[in-house]
Structure 1
């Protein structure tokens, strides 16, 4: 569970309450409610990373929000026309949601606001509601970016410093190694993604990337220390945290850590990695201007080759778009038949539940209902016990703060926080009071039922389609990493680059496994059966890295035939993970032989991986055949 960001809580509270207060001061609480909804859009879209990414992540989805609100308002009360238009927008929303994080948020707001515009009475003229919501979003954006001119590189520096601290945790005996390594992988992913998004001021960006890359020898030495069951000197994590503080502030370092050369190879590798990182930090800190140097704010959006690649929409995106369109069309048709006024909550529920990049559809449907109940209780207390008017401002202040405060705890908590806020703001537009609370619960139940039946049960996905093939590809890359670690190949990617890609892929596979574990059988049972395979692959990568560093520090190189034989066994495991029960798994006909002494720890880990893979029951391995990539 992520820690609560105090600054985000304050921003959310101020933006939503201030937007509503301005509307009340102008004598138009409905205008203030729309502006507060726009601020809520910014709150839910905010990535809280680099300023540039935050601006893009807030502005682009708001543009989609404007389009959706205009389209929806044009078919308000249109019956069959509204069903057709909202269904088409759902198809577009589903397709673009797979093109990246910003596109996912844009697709979500496009569809949500189309549904709101088609189901909720909005002030006239047609351009006023989009303008008010945009002003609310811009208010939140101003609060989010207020420190940009003063501290332009603070988020990037913090991300790189977090990597230094994560490496220190890996080298600390009090921290479980597997947990610390996964935290390090996540910190590395975030830091590299953040720096990759910056296009201006190449010198500063290059310095931070150099400081990040300088940790590679130290990161690779950590598995060797663990393999030899040696805990590095306690001075090393302390020195890393000192370097982290220096990177975060941009201030000068205190000089190279003066630690004695240990007589042991594993400790020597760690010490050399630390010295290298300290030298790079000391050499690059002085080339970066201090915060507040007057860095001009960059333009909001940069289009590059990634945008062109995004136009190639994968088949899975169209599949999800069709599924979402079917469910939204069914939801729109249902609300035209049930006698509950303005039941736009049904398609809204379907939209939230059917977001595949947000987690398991099944678990989100359950959490949606569990979160809606306390949210409705809170809304009932507000709508029935507090008179409309200026008393709404402190209420919105509290409810707005709860959204970022509870979101890290999970989707159910987020639903419980957003539900009363949305209902209060909607009441300022519809003036229906507490009479709609029970119908909203019924709407949520109907929306969850539609999502579960039409969007989940009727669209069975192969286990291999979701996870199995990706895991098999990762095992295949593990074999390539082994070959590259002990074999010089001209023109090929270095082994360190393959290691980073492997850890990133394993992080994505682990996240998908965690989502699948929350689903009912057979998917949840399959995920539980395959879970040890992921852990075994991680150990193989770790030991391969450790042995590569051990050879680099003077150990005897393994025989090429032993490396090839071991890589072949891993290749066969990848093929077996792609097989169905009706297909016979491949077997290795070669003679194992006696491995090179340096490879014996890796042989044990590969044998353990083979044993775990063979242990998979037929139900766990069941899937239709998937071609190799």
Structure 2
């Protein structure tokens, strides 16, 4: 039911305009040239480009649009070669589905490429394409090129703007979390900080997809992001102190965000005496610590009154130093997520992972089974416009896009709603020039509806595809009911063969993912307070960033599992509080580390080892239990010490994990 509520997302007006032009213009050109079929095929290729244009940074948009189009050209070529070949088409599409599913596990671009490979293969095998064989892939690819050209028109004027905006958004998210420190709203805002940091690092590091070097803009944005990390680390300490921060603190962070967003050109280097960029500044007064900013660097911050406020104050002044004065040293920037390898090495790793990963084989076989069943069924039973069955299976059975169960239900409902619009268009609008303004309106609805949810996207895409398909087969209103039957049949195949009868649906892996995260939290405790904690603060920062990123992925997987029917949804509901507890454990560890860095007595090795041992036992219990685990011995330690809040969070997590009456 939540999927049927429109998400509160703004309308992407630029994407709306691009979609309208990219789909309507080829149709108009085709009509003017007397080749409406060619125009419809170019518009189909443009539709794939519009759906795949989901990135913000221009370099990533090139990959997201161009690479899948190449796979789509290959797919339609393979499909057209087996058009009308019966069981040969079943075998070829099943094999393509296996390959599509396996490469989808590599990453976002590979997932879109695998999707378009299979979609176009199904279309090529189900619709007559113009001869010779190379014409259809060329026209479809031309449609993607149209979208790519329209997308890149703004690059000369807005180059670097998405990256700067993402970094500034991360600063604003941190300002929001500092504004609610010490209040119940902290947890929600901290999750927004994690998401904002993930987005910013992904966009900035995406600029190095091909080049491992460091441009001035890249170095500056990495330095600004890295300078934000000490502020993020100080936030849990401020929250656990129970005392709200002065209003000037979040206001200062928002001022820094504005400075990041309006930054233009290289900064002059000034001898600030600050800590090396890419490392975490030490406590005030230690060598290499920026204690007193100079000149216009001064922030309107009140004098700090507590250790947590001193940590926030010190981190903010360091961030201001980086943003407003220093031009970073390109050889002293820590990427926090690891410096990317060369393109050749990453390609080899991706191919190896796709071939050897259990997950890629599981999804590939699952998709191949459903596509094979769909094609075999329509080969044995006369189903009008039968290629829609396999198309529906392809769209729905994408676990990396969300819950398979909810997507099947939402697609059926969205298709039914879209067919109402399609029926009006096909019944009342005669094929010809009137299709151009109609396509202009319908295409504009696709990006606007995509931001609202999957059911709304499906409802917007359905009439566009039917209108374009009618140019290929000229069936008019007679397309509507077969489209509904085929979609419902495809959803049923996914729900039965791809969900109900698939073992993975009933033996969810969320417990294993949560156990891995708890084990990582234990390693983070050891890293934060172990003998190497002070020697390599950058390594601690990398460990913390990876852990928060993993927690964000686990949270997304849990939210996906919550929409599944029992037993998966019920089990996810029971485990959900423990997922939140693990996030608080990481926050408490970070806060304790900040307190130690600012003068608090460090914990003893015995205390650290005890907390680490309890977390490892909890992780082991989660892996061996299908439900929940037994609570072990109580944690011992100084209740006034720096690890007291951490021990309290560990106790809470173990209490949540213990079996209780009436709990699933």
What's the TM-score, normalizing by structure 2?
Answer: 0.87
Q: Is the 8 A contact 1:211 1:284 kept in 2?
A: no
Does structure 1 retain, via aligned residues, the 8 Å contact 2:234–2:308? yes
CA drift of 1:165 comes to 1.0
Counterpart contact for 2:204–2:218, Cα < 8 Å = yes
- Distance in 1 (alpha carbons) for counterparts of 2:302 and 2:359: 56
CA-to-aligned-CA distance 1:555-610 (integer Å, 9 cap, x gap): 1212221111121111111111111369x957645873545522222121111100
1:177-196 equivalent positions in 2, closer than 5 A: 177-196=186-205
1:562 to 588, 597, 607: 607
Matched residue of 2:179: which SS?
Answer: coil
SS at match of 1:494: helix
Q: Matched residues in 2 for 1:384 and 1:248: separation?
A: 50
Distance 1:412 1:586 in 2: 42
Q: Note if 1:390 corresponds to 2:433.
A: yes
What is aligned with 2:446? 403
- CA separation of 1:148/1:616 partners in 2, compared to 1, >3 Å: closer, same or farther? farther
Are 1:476 and 2:519 matched, yes or no?
A: yes
Which stretch of structure 1 is more off in the superposition, 421-430 or 385-394? 385-394
Q: Which residue of 1 aligns with 2:304?
A: 262
Q: What residue is the counterpart of 1:362 in the other structure?
A: 405
User: C-alpha separation between the residues in 1 aligned to 2:252 and 2:122?
Assistant: 54
Which residue in the other structure is 1:433 paired with? 476
Give me the whole-angstrom Cα distance separating, in 2, the residues matched to 1:419 and 1:464. Answer: 34
Match of 1:607 in 2: 651
- Alignment of 1:283 with 2:325, yes or no, is yes
Query: Aligned partners of 1:607, 1:510: CA distance in 2, in Å?
Result: 21
More deviation, 392-401/193-202: 193-202
Q: Distance in 2 between matches of 1:339 and 1:459?
A: 27
Q: 1:128 matched to which residue of 2?
A: 135
Could you tell me how far 1:284 is from its partner in structure 2? Answer: 4.8
Task: Tell me if structure 2 keeps the 8 A contact 1:570–1:606.
Answer: yes
Q: For the structure 1 residues 513 and 591, does the alpha-carbon distance in structure 2 shift closer, same or farther, using more than 3 Å as the test? A: closer
- Counterpart of 2:583? 538
Matches within 5 A, 1:75-94: 75-94=82-101
| Cα deviation 1:523-572 (Å, max 9, x = unaligned) | 01001000000011111111111111111111121222111112111111
Check the 8 A contact 1:475/1:574 in 2, yes or no.
yes
Q: Is the 8 A contact 1:73 1:117 kept in 2?
A: yes
Provide closer, same or farther for how the CA distance between residues 514 and 205 of structure 1 changes in structure 2, counting only shifts above 3 A. same
Secondary structure of 2:156 counterpart: coil
Partner secondary structure for residue 33 of structure 1: helix
CA contact (8 A) 2:423 2:480 kept: yes
Separation in 1, partners of 2:410, 2:392: 11
Q: Which residue of 2 aligns with 1:527?
A: 572
Give the structure 2 partner of residue 507 of structure 1.
Answer: 552
Q: Residue in 1 aligned with 2:231? A: 218
Query: Matches of 2:610 and 2:371 in 1, distance apart?
Result: 53
1:347 aligns to 2:356 (yes or no): no
Deviations 1:497-525 (A, max 9, x none): 21111111110001001111111100010
Stretch of structure 1 that moved more, 95-104 or 190-199? 190-199
User: 1:340 Cα shift?
Assistant: 3.3
Aligned partner (choices 623, 633, 646) of residue 578 of structure 1:
623
Q: Which residue of 1 aligns with 2:351?
A: 311
Q: Which moved more, 1:259-268 or 1:476-485?
A: 259-268
Q: Does structure 2 conserve the Cα–Cα contact (< 8 Å) formed by 1:46 and 1:57?
A: yes
Native 8 Å contact 1:516 1:527 kept in 2: yes
Contact 2:12–2:447 (8 Å) recurs in 1: yes
Contact 1:230–1:266 (CA under 8 A) maintained in structure 2 = no
Shift of 1:9: 1.5
Query: CA 1:193 to 1:581, structure 2 compared with 1: closer, same or farther past 3 Å?
Result: closer
The secondary structure found in structure 2 opposite 1:214 is helix
Q: Does 1:235 align with 2:248?
A: yes
Cα distance in 1 between the residues matched to 2:313 and 2:132? 68
Q: Does 1:245 align with 2:263?
A: no
Partners of 1:34 and 1:430 in 2: CA distance: 12
Q: Please give the per-residue CA displacement for 1:329-355, whole angstroms capped at 9, x wherever unaligned.
A: 111111223333331100000111111
Tell me the residue number matched to 2:116: 109
In 2 relative to 1, CA 164–590 (structure 1 residues): closer, same or farther, beyond 3 Å? closer
Correspondence 1:274 to 2:316: yes
Quote the residue 1:139 is aligned against.
Answer: 146
For 1:51, which of 40, 45, 58 is the aligned residue? 58
Give, in angstroms, the shift of residue 471 of structure 1. Answer: 0.8
- Counterparts of 1:486 and 1:227, CA distance in 2: 19
- 1:385 is displaced (CA, Å) by 1.2
Residue 331 of structure 1 corresponds to 374
Distance 1:585 1:342 in 2: 52
Q: Work out whether 1:516 is the aligned partner of 2:561.
A: yes
Task: Give the SS at the match of 1:592.
Answer: coil
* Alpha-carbon distance, 1:619 to partner: 7.9
Aligned length: 607
Which residue does the alignment assign to 1:299? none
Distance 1:616 1:304 in 2: 52
Q: 1:259 is paired with a residue of what secondary structure?
A: coil
- Cα distance in 2 between the residues matched to 1:113 and 1:618: 50
Q: What's the CA shift for 1:400?
A: 1.2
| Structure 2: distance between partners of 1:135 and 1:215 | 43
| In structure 2, C-alpha distance between the alignment counterparts of 1:392 and 1:284, rounded to whole Å | 57
Kindly indicate whether residue 605 of structure 2 is the aligned counterpart of residue 598 of structure 1. no
Counterpart for residue 446 of structure 1: 489
Find the residue that maps to 2:642 and give its secondary structure.
helix
Check whether the contact 1:207–1:284 (CA below 8 A) recurs between aligned residues. Answer: no
Q: 1:381 aligns with which of 424, 444, 454?
A: 424
Q: Within the alignment, does 1:207 sit opposite 2:207 as a pair?
A: no
- Counterparts of 1:39 and 1:321, CA distance in 2: 27
Contact preservation (8 Å) 1:68, 1:114: yes
**Cα–Cα, structure 1 residues 17 and 249, in superposed 2: closer, same or farther, change >3 Å?**
farther
3-state SS, counterpart of residue 601 of structure 2: coil
Contact 2:385 2:482 in 1 (8 A): no
1:5 aligns to 2:12 (yes or no): yes
Whether the aligned pair in 1 keeps the contact of 2:12 and 2:448 (CA below 8 Å) is yes
TM-score w.r.t. length of structure 1: 0.92
Give matches, 1:148-159, under 5 Å: 148-159=155-166
